[in-house]
Structure 1
Amino acid sequence: MQSQEIARRWIEFFTSKDHTAVPSASLVSSDPSLLFTVAGMVPFIPYLTAREEAPYDRAVSVQKCIRTGDIEEVGKTARHGTFFQMCGNFSFGNYFKTEAIGFAWELLTSSISDGGYGLDKNRLWVTVYLDDDEAAALWQQIAGLPAERIQRMGKKDNYWHTGQPGPGGPCSEIYYDRGPAYGPDGGPAVDDVRYIEIWNLVFMQYQLSAVRSKEDFDVAGELPKKNIDTGLGLERLALILQGVENFYETDQVRPVLDAAAAISGKEYTSAETAADPHHTDDVRMRVVADHIRSALMLISDGVTPSNEGRGYVLRRLIRRAVRAMRLLGVERACLPELLPASRDAMKGVYPQVEADFERIARIAYAEEKSFLRTIASGTARMEEAVTESKAAGTSLSGAEAFALHDTYGFPIDLTLEMAEEAGLAVDEAGFRSLMLEQRQRAQADARGKKSGHADLSVFNELLAGGQTIFTGYDELDGESRVRAILSGGRKVAHAATGDEIEIVLAQTPFYAEAGGQAADTGLLTGDGFIAEVLDVQRPVKGLSVHKAIVREGEMPADAMVRAAVDRQRRHAAEQAHTGTHIVHAALHQILGPEALQRGSFNKAGYLRFDFSWGEGLSSATRSEIEEVSNIAIRNNYRVDTNVMALADAKALGATALFGENYGSDVRVVEIDGAWSRELCGGTHVASTSLIGSLTLLGDQSVGSGNRRVEAFVGMDAFRHLAAERALVTELSDMLNVPSNLLPERLATTLNKLKTAEKELERLRKDQLAAEAATLVGTARFLAGVQVIAHDGGAVGGADDLRTLALDLRNRLGSAAAVVAVAGVANGRPMVLVATNEAARAAGVKAGMLVKLAAGILGGGGGGKDDVAQGGGSDPAQVPAALAAVVGAIQQRS
């Protein structure tokens, strides 16, 4: 049974059971604590946790999901993948355990001709929570399962909660027995490879008051409404119904795997054990198949490669796939062959991947091309690091390996491979330590961001009393009532001078940060107190929370206040926000509709705008964007806002930010009608001339396929231009030319500088040649070898020593010769030894002599038998180091 048919039967079965079919949400999660939609229940969290009223009692979906926590295991097991589809059925206070178990058993075991999946009842096992006697009894009553095929598990395996105070409950998992060829008998409690989990039924029935860990929490009581949340892994069921070994061989994944095999010339064998010689190549092909599909679906949902967040995950997936192909022996670009195979496998269920393939392919191919360049540039840096490490006589440091990874995107396995080829060890433990530190910083940052919204109970309680009314579209000051004062996440009765607090008002003119627009600041004044508003956020939809500090007096929790927004700062922010819309329209006019918005931020006097574009903007293009923007400002276009139904806004052609969630009614901002028409909840000037002017600061890459432009507006634009004018005036005065002749004079000056540098380089080489001609006469015969040991004093660097040593070696002819030259550059001593073929035949090797000399200098070194280099930390030891080289040669006799 094909994956598309599995999904179709799922939806049809549950709609026949009065469930509302809900389309898959984007992989880009609307939950601020999640990068991606990681489970089928994520879009339903507001309903399951009662933050919002569910629009239906029962729902069914086939949800796209991404998880990368076990990315290192991809390809090694039958069930680890980054992209997967979760089939789910949900009840919001409607049905509970009896119906959930009945539905699951009916769908799994009904014959294919009756619309079911036709699984053998005798191969199905279930697990239930230790204390869930009710579920165990229902499985026996409804499914007729014998007691020995119902296994009880602990909280670690069969209890669900969010990790925060809130709903939770036991779960029951359904397993399929793949047979004795896959492992020992005894059910899922014994072996979860033979017995593969296909469906999890979560019985959400308790209110948890405290959650200390997965297995340590307090139950406050039962929920007033019990919910059902289930998830069946489509890929896991597909591997069973299609009779394949693992999900990489199912119909939506196997075509990419076959393409990887064809391109690499490798044979895919379905090898499952590491002892199998084919196992490594099989794992690599599975990695390619999984990661290419995940990249296809992520780009389809608007994610583009970058160095942070979702974009970093996408970049890592593409680069791991390219790296896997490289390890399979393919060093050329191969996504143009792999990605279409994934498109054709997925388009039946997700037709948008075909409709949008041109954009998807452009982004993916550009990233692959960029990574291939990364490998090239990283290789150059890697070779430098190897040379430096050998010269110092050390292994490649963990810091260097980390820099190669972090700066160049160089995979550690590639670093290890190349270092081994060069005969150099790598401080892998140091690298892993630095990687761990980076992950811990990222996790701490993520926790820090999440902690602001971790326990939303107090905000949900306030929201239940009514939403905050925003009056800031029409007024910048007004009377309001304080609904609550919070300190440390708890309500307090009052706040005194110096207290940093959060304030919830009944209504507010303060704009809460949203849509890329920074929050308002200002003052709250009342009877005997003044509080300064520093920031405004919305931890839950519909509730504005003012972060403030009490500057004077004592503020009670039920006070009446005069809320006054900083008018100048708001106006400057409105200039910037309207300027953002203008820049967006200018980009569309000049670059075309493919310049899709990928994010923006605007605050008083400043804006930045991210958009999809694969290459840098020329200075002429930037000038044209700036000109179009300022013409729109000069033409004094009206800025109109209208609230309308989302469907009507789309019919008008209003531009929406991909991945943003919009309600049924939206706010449409128009600049000169259709010239710019966008969905936007921000605040704006009434007409474009109020912006004053706009000055672009340039553009930069923010990840492969994405660019960022920045600009100043209003007085900030004027100040920027004034500063640039002052700089031009200063340069004109320094060079004593009019400003219009500055480019010509600077070009002339730079050319003269380059000519002088070339002449200095020529003179330096002549000086070294003359020095070599003199030094060749100082050669001594020691133990049958010509030896020159020269202290060059202060030198320009290692290149000078190398040039001198090789010149001297050539001048000494074919008889056995050794040249050792040393010097001090930037306060650090270095030594270089060169030997000719005859000397090496006599057993004199440069690497051995350099290690001896570098050790005396307080460092290390190494290299090949013909040329080797080393360094140290004690310049005073240069004569002793050279003497040691001479002594070592003499001792040969």
Structure 2
Amino acid sequence: MRTAEVKRRFLAHFEAAGHTAVASAPLPADDPTLLFVNAGMVPFKPYLLGQETPPYPRAASVQKCVRTLDIDEVGKTTRHGTFFQMNGNFSFGDYFKEQAIRLAWDLTVKPQADGGYGLDPDRIWATVYLDDDEAHALWRDEIGLPEERIVRRGKADNFWSMGVPGPCGPCSELYYDRGPAYGREGGPEVDEDRYLEFWNLVFMQYERGAGTGKEDYPILGELPSRNIDTGMGLERMAALLQGVDNLYEVDETRPILDRAAALTGKRYGERSGPSAAESHPDDVRLRVVADHVRTALMLIGDGVTPGNEGRGYVLRRILRRAIRAVRLLGYQDPALPELLPVARDCMAPSYPELAADFDRISAYAYGEEDAFRATLHQGSTLLDQEIGRTERKLPASTAFRLHDTYGFPIDLTVEIAAENGLAVDVDGFRELMAEQKRRARDDARAKKGGHADTAVYRTLLDAHGTTDWQAYTTLTTDSTVLAVLRDGGPVTAAGQGQIVTVVLDRTPFYAESGGQESDAGMLTGPSLSAEVLDVQRPVKGLVVHQVRVLDGEIAPGLPVRAAVDPQWRAGARQAHSGTHVLHAALRTTLGPAALQSGSYNRPGHLRLDFSWRGGLSPETRSEVEDVANVAIDRDLPVEVRYMPLPEARRIGALALFGETYDETVRVVEIGGEWSRELCGGTHVASSAQIGGLTVTGESSVGSGQRRIEAVTGLESHRYLARERDLVSQIADQLTAPRAEVADRVTTLIHQLKNSERETSRLRDQLLTFQATQIAASATDHAGVALAVAHTDDNPRQLADHVTKALPADRPSVIAALAPSALVITTNQAARDRGLSAAHLIKTILNGRGGGNPQTAQGPRPTDPESALEHLATELTNQAN
């Protein structure tokens, strides 16, 4: 049974049981505590935590998930993967244990001909929490599981919580006995490879307090309503139904692995033992490739792009691990163009949008591979420099910098260093990596409790309802202060000079979102003047204002006049509408692949990130700017419509990747279909009000991703005026008409380059002359020429020139002394006689230095004359 069919049957089963089928949320989590959705319950967390009222009493989903905490274990075991899909059914105060257990059992054992999975009921085991007599009795009496296949387990295994104060409860897990070929008999407590867990039913009925670990926390009492949260691993169920060993061998993963094996000439599974612990390194690498290529496909498909921070960094690491694994398997050509289409074909039956959007997805992935191949080259160059300055062992800090800054794998650093006779402080490197991970975990833990900080806002929302938000219709409102907050808690008042958070019953202020900065303005009242610094939505439905009290006092119950700065709003509208116009101009000029991936705008200024490989030429940039300004000059109408999300998609409204939208969306059109996007920002009434747009810059912000920046309105005119003044100043300095400035500057640059080339030519001539003199002074030692050079800079370059100046058929050794280093080189004739630069330098420097037979480097000896005499003696001894 194909994985897509496993998914379809799950949703059909629960829809028939009255559940609302909810589409998978995008992988980038709409949650400040997470980078990615890492469990099926994450999109439902506001309902399970009681933060929002669920729109349905019961739901079912197949949620895309990514977990990277154990990324280093991927491939080493057959249970770890970064991307997986979690089937889940949820009840929000509706049914509880009995129906959850019955629904899970029925789907699991129902014959495949009747729409179920058809697992053998005699091979299924259930675990329950130690004192959950109710679940134990349901499995035994209602389902009919024999007593010996119902296992009671402790809090660490069968009691669920989020790791922070909040909902918790016992759980019941289902295991399938795969037979003696997979391990020992005796149930899940004996062997969880043989007895494979495939479903976890969480009975969320208690509230837990603060504590550490999986067991050390108090149970505070019952929740107001009891919920069900279950998770069935889609890949695990597919493995069981397809009769394969693990998630790497199901139909959505194995073809990628097979293609990687074919590219590299490896045969998967031939040299591995019966357990994952005995896997051959080649098999581990093939599994890494299969897992990571699929994960990268899914992440880019959901709008994540490679970068150096957050989600982008995780994606970049996943892609580079896959590329590195292929190279270690012996394939040196670009691999992703061979592998990513296979992953697309595997996943498209479940996610057809991957096929439709593959041009964009592949552009990012292939661009990242190209960049990493260049990175490997850059890292190798830096590593060569570091080796030249190192005596015996490459410091941990250098290895860590290569890894962290350049993405240079530690195993490659060790390999190259060993070739140059050096060790690497691997233990120190691992300590630095561990410290980095500790900081990341501490940061993650700090963020994990972030939802608790919104408790005060949820209380206000429950008490007063949603904010009457009037940003689209007016710039002023008569409002009442509902609360004043400082340091996360309410205060009775705030006075002059204090910065506090203020909640109003209604507001005209735009809250920062969708790339648009929040409004500026004032709150005024009887004896009050307060400047609005920032406006946010900490929880859905509630708008809060950060203000600085300039005069008087602000307190709950105070009537105030909330007024947006009209010039600020006008500038913000120009910039936001300008962003839409610029996006449409890019797509008009470059084609539909130039799709926006992020934006930021504030009054008069905007930037737009878009997918594109390679920089824009000056001509293309000018064309984009011209298309945008033609649209502005045409005074196109700007219209806002509200419609269901499927209708917006049908008419081609563009959505920002990674964003989560409600079922009813706001569509902003400029000139009808010319620019049609989902957007919640403020906009001008017609395009002419943008007042002109000037592109000020275009650059790379990551592999396959560009950023274009522009100014609008008055800022556009000011920018052009500054450019005009700058050209005038240059023209005055060149004593040339402004129309001739570009030609005159080009001429000067050409002259400068010619001068630089001439200087380089003269420097090379001088170096060749010096090398000729040094070669002429070479001394003979048992038929081996020894040339000694002294230089203040770049001893390797001088040694290479001396080598070329000596006869190729004469065995020659060159010693180049610099203020801080000694370099020894040998020509081919000397190496044919068994002379090695690495051996010679270690001999005369008492083991210090290193390199290869042709070139070696070490520190300058304290007594150079004695060292050179030692070298001459060594040459004579070796030659004889």
Q: What is the match of residue 797 of structure 1?
A: 794
Q: What is the match of residue 262 of structure 1?
A: 262
Between the aligned partners of 2:99 and 2:275, the Cα distance in structure 1 is: 44
Aligned to 1:555, the other structure's residue is in SS state: coil
2:586 counterpart letter in structure 1: L
2:418 counterpart letter in structure 1: E
Q: What is the match of residue 55 of structure 1?
A: 55
Contact kept, 8 Å, 2:508 with 2:564, in 1: the verdict is yes
How far is 1:687 from its partner? 3.1
Q: What is the match of residue 820 of structure 1?
A: 815
Between the aligned partners of 1:538 and 1:477, the Cα distance in structure 2 is: 19
Between the aligned partners of 1:591 and 1:603, the Cα distance in structure 2 is: 26
1:764-783 aligned within 5 A? 764-772=763-771, 774-775=773-774
Contact kept, 8 Å, 2:33 with 2:450, in 1: the verdict is no
Contact kept, 8 Å, 1:789 with 1:821, in 2: the verdict is yes
Q: What is the match of residue 154 of structure 2?
A: 154
Q: Deviations over 1:501-523 (max 9, x none)?
A: 22111111221111110112233
How far is 1:450 from its partner? 6.3
TM-score (norm: length of structure 2): 0.91
Contact kept, 8 Å, 1:805 with 1:834, in 2: the verdict is no
**Match status 1:832 vs 2:831:** no
Contact kept, 8 Å, 1:598 with 1:612, in 2: the verdict is yes
Between the aligned partners of 1:671 and 1:737, the Cα distance in structure 2 is: 44
Pair 1:385–1:336, CA change in 2 (3 A): closer
Pair 1:817–1:284, CA change in 2 (3 A): closer
Between the aligned partners of 2:835 and 2:14, the Cα distance in structure 1 is: 82
**Aligned mate of 2:803, from 801, 806, 811:** 806
Between the aligned partners of 2:99 and 2:498, the Cα distance in structure 1 is: 53
1:183 counterpart letter in structure 2: G
Between the aligned partners of 2:2 and 2:414, the Cα distance in structure 1 is: 42
How far is 1:434 from its partner? 4.0
Q: What is the match of residue 617 of structure 2?
A: 618
Between the aligned partners of 1:244 and 1:207, the Cα distance in structure 2 is: 40
Aligned to 1:102, the other structure's residue is in SS state: helix
How far is 1:168 from its partner? 1.7
Q: What is the match of residue 291 of structure 1?
A: 292
Between the aligned partners of 1:725 and 1:834, the Cα distance in structure 2 is: 57
How far is 1:229 from its partner? 0.8
1:125-274 aligned within 5 A? 125-210=125-210, 212-269=212-269, 271-272=272-273
Between the aligned partners of 1:522 and 1:447, the Cα distance in structure 2 is: 36
Is 799-808 or 744-753 further displaced after alignment? 799-808
Between the aligned partners of 2:770 and 2:780, the Cα distance in structure 1 is: 20
1:308-323 aligned within 5 A? 308-323=309-324
Contact kept, 8 Å, 1:497 with 1:553, in 2: the verdict is yes
Q: What is the match of residue 326 of structure 2?
A: 325
Aligned to 2:201, the other structure's residue is in SS state: strand
Between the aligned partners of 2:373 and 2:105, the Cα distance in structure 1 is: 52
Q: What is the match of residue 424 of structure 2?
A: 426
Between the aligned partners of 2:781 and 2:592, the Cα distance in structure 1 is: 78
Between the aligned partners of 1:179 and 1:107, the Cα distance in structure 2 is: 22
Gaps of 5+ in 2: none
Q: Deviations over 1:152-174 (max 9, x none)?
A: 33332222223343322111111
Q: What is the match of residue 387 of structure 2?
A: 389
Q: Deviations over 1:796-823 (max 9, x none)?
A: 4335532564366559x83x76543424
Contact kept, 8 Å, 1:577 with 1:684, in 2: the verdict is yes
Q: What is the match of residue 578 of structure 2?
A: 579
Pair 1:414–1:691, CA change in 2 (3 A): same
How far is 1:497 from its partner? 3.4
Q: What is the match of residue 656 of structure 2?
A: 657
**Match status 1:523 vs 2:510:** no
How far is 1:775 from its partner? 5.0
Between the aligned partners of 1:422 and 1:206, the Cα distance in structure 2 is: 62
Aligned to 1:520, the other structure's residue is in SS state: coil
Between the aligned partners of 1:864 and 1:344, the Cα distance in structure 2 is: 47
Q: What is the match of residue 749 of structure 1?
A: 748
Q: What is the match of residue 718 of structure 1?
A: 717
Between the aligned partners of 1:84 and 1:497, the Cα distance in structure 2 is: 54
Q: What is the match of residue 508 of structure 1?
A: 507
Q: What is the match of residue 342 of structure 2?
A: 341
2:459 counterpart letter in structure 1: E
**Match status 1:402 vs 2:400:** yes
Q: What is the match of residue 862 of structure 1?
A: 850
Contact kept, 8 Å, 1:852 with 1:884, in 2: the verdict is no
Q: What is the match of residue 671 of structure 1?
A: 670
Aligned to 2:669, the other structure's residue is in SS state: strand
Q: Deviations over 1:19-69 (max 9, x none)?
A: 223333333333343332222222222222232222222222222222222
Contact kept, 8 Å, 1:295 with 1:317, in 2: the verdict is yes
**Aligned mate of 1:375, from 350, 373, 376:** 373
Aligned to 2:702, the other structure's residue is in SS state: coil
Aligned to 1:485, the other structure's residue is in SS state: strand
Between the aligned partners of 2:360 and 2:723, the Cα distance in structure 1 is: 39
Between the aligned partners of 1:781 and 1:355, the Cα distance in structure 2 is: 72
1:417-566 aligned within 5 A? 417-440=415-438, 442=440, 453-464=451-462, 465-566=464-565
1:375 counterpart letter in structure 2: R
Aligned to 1:255, the other structure's residue is in SS state: helix
Contact kept, 8 Å, 1:801 with 1:832, in 2: the verdict is no
Aligned to 1:455, the other structure's residue is in SS state: helix
Aligned-pair identity (%): 53
How far is 1:226 from its partner? 0.7
Contact kept, 8 Å, 1:844 with 1:889, in 2: the verdict is no
Contact kept, 8 Å, 2:771 with 2:798, in 1: the verdict is no
Q: What is the match of residue 104 of structure 1?
A: 104
Between the aligned partners of 1:332 and 1:623, the Cα distance in structure 2 is: 36
Aligned to 1:494, the other structure's residue is in SS state: coil
2:680 counterpart letter in structure 1: G
Between the aligned partners of 2:165 and 2:386, the Cα distance in structure 1 is: 54
Q: What is the match of residue 43 of structure 1?
A: 43
1:364 counterpart letter in structure 2: A
Between the aligned partners of 1:315 and 1:771, the Cα distance in structure 2 is: 48
**Aligned mate of 1:885, from 861, 864, 868:** 868
1:230 counterpart letter in structure 2: T
Between the aligned partners of 1:133 and 1:275, the Cα distance in structure 2 is: 36
Pair 1:601–1:770, CA change in 2 (3 A): closer
Contact kept, 8 Å, 2:77 with 2:276, in 1: the verdict is no
Contact kept, 8 Å, 2:789 with 2:799, in 1: the verdict is no
How far is 1:866 from its partner? 5.0
How far is 1:202 from its partner? 0.5
How far is 1:603 from its partner? 1.1
Q: Deviations over 1:467-517 (max 9, x none)?
A: 111122233233211111122222222223343322111111221111110
Q: Deviations over 1:280-335 (max 9, x none)?
A: 22222222222232233333333333333333333333332232222222222343
2:499 counterpart letter in structure 1: E
Is 404-413 or 51-60 further displaced after alignment? 404-413
Between the aligned partners of 1:706 and 1:678, the Cα distance in structure 2 is: 20
Between the aligned partners of 1:214 and 1:466, the Cα distance in structure 2 is: 36
Q: Deviations over 1:74-118 (max 9, x none)?
A: 223232222222121111111111111122223223333444323
Q: Deviations over 1:824-852 (max 9, x none)?
A: 4xxxx333334567877999764456457
Aligned to 2:676, the other structure's residue is in SS state: strand
How far is 1:868 from its partner? 3.2
Q: What is the match of residue 759 of structure 2?
A: 760
Is 670-679 or 211-220 further displaced after alignment? 211-220
Q: What is the match of residue 599 of structure 1?
A: 598
**Aligned mate of 1:416, from 400, 414, 418:** 414
Q: Deviations over 1:356-394 (max 9, x none)?
A: 4444444434443x15xx335523541552354145324
Contact kept, 8 Å, 2:76 with 2:277, in 1: the verdict is no
Pair 1:643–1:871, CA change in 2 (3 A): same
